[in-house]
Amino acid sequence: MSGPPPKRSSERRRRNKDTGATDVVTIVGAKVVKPPAEDREWHPIAKGWYRSLKQSGQAKFFEPSDWQAARLCAHVMTQHLNATSLRAGMVQQIWAMMGDLLTTEAARRRVRVELSRTATGNPETDATVTMMRDYLDELGG
């Protein structure tokens, strides 16, 4: 989806049915996915970003290839942050890599995925994925 990210479902006023694609193909992924350890030589910001992925709700759906993409992003981030000067083009490229992993709210909203938290305070069960279409259907849209 191009353009600005859509609003969160709780902020939308539209009540009519969305005309977007509804076909979903389900395939079986890896049975157990253990995130690879971070590299000790990564820049502290890259390490912090990579560690935050392990706690993020979308990480439940990461496949081994997604974790390797995250490692590559952290490696590129480290090289860039350790360089003598920052280049805007490289920052944009890193941001795009992070977006491909759905690590920003805007990226998740573009693919119509929301992470929501419950009030239990348990990070294992609080972050759940809600499809915006299902939310709208519950509201009678």
pLDDT tens readout for residues 30-86:
677 889 999 999 999 999 999 999 988 888 888 899 999 999 999 999 999 998 788
DSSP tag of 140: T
**By the 8 A CB rule, do 46 and 78 touch?**
yes
25, burial (CB in 10 Å: exposed 0-12, middle 13-18, buried 19+): exposed
H or E stretch covering 116: strand 113-116
**By the 8 A CB rule, do 9 and 132 touch?**
yes
> For the whole prediction, is pTM greater than 0.85?
no
